[in-house]
């Protein structure tokens, strides 16, 4: 099914690229939540194309706990870093990742 303009794509299993994005924003996520995570493993994600890309990522942070991240990746021509735009926590394995 084609992606609707401004909508998110289907949820996919996280890969190396998504884990690298998570690794880059881990410190900001810990500062936002006020805690240090024993694990920070990307599990699944969806994307939204805007003036760049929003990544909505489900991340396992230890035990039975997950967080959802919204990370903005600007277009390459802007030469700007990734931005942790929002974070939802606590989440569980069964919580679907999507637009927020």
β-pairing, 65-74 vs 83-91, is: antiparallel
Give the single-character DSSP code of 4: P
**What sign does the CA torsion over 20, 26, 32, 35 have?**
positive
Reported as a single tens digit per residue, the pLDDT across 10-34 is: 999 999 999 999 999 999 999 999 9
- State the pLDDT at residue 5: 52
Distant-in-sequence contacts of 51-57, Cβ < 8 A, 24+ apart:
51/75, 52/78, 54/85, 55/18, 55/21, 56/8, 56/97, 56/98, 56/99, 56/100, 57/14, 57/18, 57/21, 57/22, 57/97
pTM score, two decimals?
A: 0.90
Domain borders along the chain are 12-91
Amino acid 2: pLDDT:
44
pLDDT of residue 3: 44
Parts of the chain with a pLDDT under 70: 1-6
Q: Spelled out in words, what is the top-level CATH class assigned to the domain 12-91?
A: alpha beta
């Amino acid at each position: 099914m084609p992606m609707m303009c401004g909508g998110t794509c289907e949820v996919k299993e996280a890969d190396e690229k998504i884990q690298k994005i998570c690794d880059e924003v881990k410190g900001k996520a810990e500062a936002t939540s006020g805690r240090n995570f024993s694990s920070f493993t990307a599990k699944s994600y969806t994307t939204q194309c805007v003036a760049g890309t929003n990544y909505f990522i489900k991340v396992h942070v230890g035990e039975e706990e997950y967080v959802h991240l919204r990370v903005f990746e600007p277009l390459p021509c802007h030469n700007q870093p990734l931005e942790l735009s929002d974070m939802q926590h606590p989440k569980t394995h069964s919580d679907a990742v999507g637009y927020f």
